[in-house]
Amino acid sequence: MDPIKIEAADREFVNKLHRLRSKLTHRQAQWENRSLRQSFFRNAPLPAALLLIVAAGFILFHMSRTSGPTKAGQPAAAPPVAKRPAVETPPGVPPPLAETPARDKGPTTRAASPARGPEPETVQGNIEQITTLACRGVKDHLPLGKGDTFQLAQASRVYIWMRVRSKRQPFVIRHVYYLNGHRYCEVPLRILYPRMRTWSYVSLQKAKLAGQWTVKITCKGKLLKTVSFEVNR
């Protein structure tokens, strides 16, 4: 065989071998790059979560430093909303009354300060108008079934509904219940707004609660109004 042809075949074989090695090296590099990218994206959520935690901590720290005591000339933060007063009943008597204060809708929308303070010095000068009546129920802060005579079998409760307009708040108006001339119980109703609707009620679940009822509306010991109703068996 011709040596020249053999040498040319050897060179061609060597060149093919080099090309094959270069292709293998290139594909191996591509595979390694792809593996690196996949491992990065698989582990990406953990660094992102750590970054979010650090950012949230920084924001909370900044807010805690900036929300310090109120400086002079700056508006004070809104005070917490006052809780409704608990119903007071005499010892030995089950709690028959409940009250649900409601702010009356009207042109005056100034919110009353819930901070405890002294009651107005003059009751008549502070209370501009007070309306009271007896009814069978209350819906949407309005009385239902107004009247002065109720049947024990038909009415399980009798409500004393009240609308109050006042100048200064807060203060307390009390509903003092009397049954046949004897004091039964007392309910304090805290007035928090310039125009407010609120009420109390007595549960009529026993036959001995039939009779003549009188409710005295008082403030600081002064009688404002009297509501009377009769409960028949």
pLDDT tens-digit map of 4-25: 777 777 788 888 888 888 877 8
The model's pTM is 0.50
Q: Which amino acid is at 49?
A: A
**56 in any annotated domain:** yes
The CA-CA-CA angle for residues 26, 27, 29, to 5°, reads 65
Tell me the residue range of the domain where 23 lies. Answer: 3-66
Q: What is the mean pLDDT of residues 197-216?
A: 93
**96 in any annotated domain:** no
229 close to 149: Cβ distance less than 8 angstroms: yes
Strand order in the sheet with 157-166: 102-103, 195-203, 157-166, 127-139, 142-146
The residue ranking higher by pLDDT, 56 or 71, is: 56
pLDDT in tens, 70-94: 454 555 555 555 444 444 444 444 4
**140 in any annotated domain:** yes
Tally of structural domains, the chain: 2
Q: Which of 155, 165, 222, 232 is nearest to 194 (CA)?
A: 165
Q: Which of 202, 204, 96, 208 is nearest to 151 (CA)?
A: 204
The residue ranking higher by pLDDT, 112 or 171, is: 171
Q: What is the mean pLDDT of residues 180-206?
A: 94
**75 in any annotated domain:** no
- Both 127 and 62 in one domain: the answer is no
Question: What whole-number distance in Å separates Cα of residue 9 and Cα of residue 12?
Answer: 5
**86 in any annotated domain:** no
- At which of 66, 82, 111 does a domain end? 66
Strand order in the sheet with 182-191: 149-151, 222-232, 211-219, 171-179, 182-191
The torsion angle over the Cα atoms of residues 124, 130, 134 and 136, rounded to 10 degrees, is -140
* pLDDT above 60: residue 99: no
How much of the chain is helix, strand and coil, in % rounded to 5?
A: 30, 35, 35
Q: What's the CATH number where 205 sits?
A: 2.60.40.2550
